[in-house]
Structure 1
Amino acid sequence: MENRIKITLDYPPVWLAAFLVFAYLTRGVVGPLAQTEAVLALSFGLIGIGIGVMCIAAFTMWRHKTTFIPHRYPQRLVTQGIFRYSRNPIYLGDAFTLVGFSLLYGSIIGLLSVPVFMVVIERRFIRKEEKNLKGLFAQDYDLWAKKTRRWM
């Protein structure tokens, strides 16, 4: 029997990149968003918040010696820091980043695609990750899930 390495592109950054490209390609299709200084400031602010939240969450998981890479089993349940406010801050950061870039591109369709992105992420990643966490850390996970929202 041959050992084969399975290469998959089914990772959240790939989905985020696809939605970012979609937002870019659909800019102005429905009509452009006004690119005022306020909109540009908001877009850069949201991109910064998104990237910041992702980095803080990844660092928190690294500090607790567990993985933040999808399709891997975590070694620990992290409920401290940013994880007190969201069970999925990295995915939340992705959503903020998509909103920010959609505003920057002036893409109304990009903005409208954000809930679709969130559904894709929930179905492709979050449900499986929650099932794994519940299986590995049953009681602790249940307590955390009761007091901490999935997104925000």
Structure 2
Amino acid sequence: MRLLPPPLVLILLILMGALRLVWPGAVLLPAPLNWLGLLPVALGVLLLLQGSGLFRRIGTNIKTFNEPGVLVTDGPFRLTRNPMYLGFLLLLIGVAVLLGAATPFAGPVVFAAASQFIYIPFEEKALRAKFGEAYEAYARRVRRWI
């Protein structure tokens, strides 16, 4: 069984909170500066809702390791090929900022690495196999992240 991104994010959020309590490291952003984390949290949630909502409206698969149904290129996918991964990453960065300490930033780093080296390459391979040149043309027009 492969770990999907939403459960990974939940696990990382829990670990980030635990790290803040048990081993916070240096305080990077004391209150009230840590409240700046609300901005990336809000942007991340917005990207997640837009991307998943578009997938739902179109009726295509949203699960990372299942076969893609439709090549989605509108909405937030016009700006980034991976708005939902970017949304999760922004959410994790925002929470790390809200927590204000150094060690919770391990969460966004772990998620970025999992996305960059596991999730996204798997999806790109499946998209190339299913949509061929249409996906290649899209990949040339739109960046992987931002």
TM-score normalized by the length of structure 1: 0.86
Please tell me the residue identity of whatever aligns with 2:124: E
Q: State the Cα distance separating 1:113 from its structure 2 match.
A: 4.2
Please tell me the residue identity of whatever aligns with 1:97: L
* Structure 1 partner of 2:7: 14
Structure 2, unmatched stretches of 5+, are: none
Counterparts of 2:56 and 2:14 in 1: how far apart (Å)? 29
Q: Which has the larger radius of gyration?
A: 1
Counterparts of 2:126 and 2:39 in 1: how far apart (Å)? 34
Contact 2:60–2:69 (CA<8 Å) still a contact in 1? Answer: yes
* Structure 2 partner of 1:34: 29
Task: Write the mapping of 1:53-72 to structure 2, written as runs, cut at 5 A.
Answer: 53-72=47-66
* Alignment match of 1:135 (pick from 106, 125, 129): 129
Q: State the Cα distance separating 1:112 from its structure 2 match.
A: 4.5
Aligned-residue identity in percent: 27
Structure 1, unmatched stretches of 5+, are: 1-7
Q: State the Cα distance separating 1:101 from its structure 2 match.
A: 0.7
Q: What do residues 22-57 of structure 1 show as CA deviations (whole Å, max 9, x unaligned)?
A: 2212226212233333431x2112111111100100
What secondary structure does 1:133 align onto?
A: helix
* Alignment match of 2:17 (pick from 16, 24, 31): 24
Counterparts of 1:57 and 1:77 in 2: how far apart (Å)? 13
Matched residues, number: 144
* Structure 2 partner of 1:85: 79
What secondary structure does 2:138 align onto?
A: helix
Please tell me the residue identity of whatever aligns with 2:67: Y
Q: State the Cα distance separating 1:93 from its structure 2 match.
A: 0.4
Counterparts of 1:60 and 1:126 in 2: how far apart (Å)? 19
Q: Which moved more, 1:126-135 or 1:42-51?
A: 42-51
* Alignment match of 1:120 (pick from 114, 117, 120): 114
* Structure 1 runs (4+) greater than 3 angstroms displaced: none
Counterparts of 1:9 and 1:21 in 2: how far apart (Å)? 19
Q: What do residues 39-88 of structure 1 show as CA deviations (whole Å, max 9, x unaligned)?
A: 31x21121111111001001112222211112211211001110011111
RMSD: 1.6
Q: Is 2:90 the counterpart of 1:96?
A: yes
